[in-house]
Structure 1
Amino acid sequence: MTFRETFLALARWRRARCAAGVSFVLGVGLLFVPHFNELGFEAALATAVVVPIAAGLVAAGVRRLDGALERPWTLLAALLATAGVLVGLPLGMLSLFLVAAPVCDPVQGLVFFALLPLCSALLAAVVGWFLALFVATGRRATGAWLAVVAASLGLVVYRFFATPAVSFFGPFFGQYPGVLYDTLIPVSGRLLTYRATNLAEAAVLLALVGWGWDPAARRVS
């Protein structure tokens, strides 16, 4: 299938529509919560907590989509575009809300949306896609994706209790500044460095698929 055909097939797929519904409801809900209805760090973090998990679920289950695995790289491009749409739904609503409630620095809000939910959703799509190509069934790939998410969050919880760190980083949400933080949160070099490591991790998965993809078996072996 071409990119357009794959993207439209994803758009018609029930799991992707459910993910879009979750993203839409999240966007609507943010508009009714003070501070979260502004294009800033709080809204970006809330979106990063929810949307990447949905993007990964869509990617991990693509074995159930007829013909999707014929061209895995085209499939990946369509999944990345789908992840971008899922992030774009709440972002679009918050951007429209700027007319009623303008913020001081909307550009920084856009940067946080790029570094938190967008990067997380794109990484989730890559990981879910890799699991879909590596595992024999969509159900197992979905379970593996949920296990990866649980493990990444479990590591954050462990660091919370075992270390004196205040700010925490995770691949599928970005950065959590802790319970107490300054209301003016800058884009830090630590966050940029962390995202660079996530990019390297994604590159490793892409290389593994490029090296081990078996077109006949339609699996990474």
Structure 2
Amino acid sequence: MRIKDDVIRQHHFIHIRCFAHIINLIVVEGLKEIDDSITRVRSIVRYVRASPQRLAKFKAITEQLQIGCSSMLCLDVPTRWNSTYIMLDVAQKYQRAFEQMEVEDEGLRYALLELAGQGLSAPDAHDWTSVRYLIQFLKFFYDITMRIFGSKYTTANLYFSELSELHFHLKNSCADSRGLLSAMTARMKTKYDKY
């Protein structure tokens, strides 16, 4: 008998998908549910970051409002959910500055009118509330990704415990979710069950 023929169940139980990739697929699927709030925040962050003058004006407003956040506004890569998480986490800390900039910056008001023609608007109070709920929910996925994503060490020993924790989190979130996150967690759970 050749060694190649002596395998357990023709390798069916040996192949393990990349856990970080599975998490990415699950979260991207869930984010499709609340894309409008994310798009509104993304558009206002994009506007502020589009020129050094706008960014300087935004920084002046944050100093005037005494917002004690030192994190820099960043624009996400829509296909990478963790960059969306970071963008939203930083942007929500500057909510008052964005609202003040809408009042003071004529260019922003004009840009928002253009967005309104495309069916978009500036983030409103509901969007910021949605973003805060989303950040709290996604923090778990971000933290688990940071724990298992490593290129200088093996993470196979973490796989089962993290997978179990992910399953438990999704199951509880589906049971406890109301309103905003209910459809999102249901989509994520369906995607998780597929893998």
What is the TM-score with the length of structure 2 in the denominator? 0.31
The structure with the largest strand share of the pair is 1
When the two structures are superposed, what TM-score results if normalisation uses the length of structure 1? Answer: 0.28
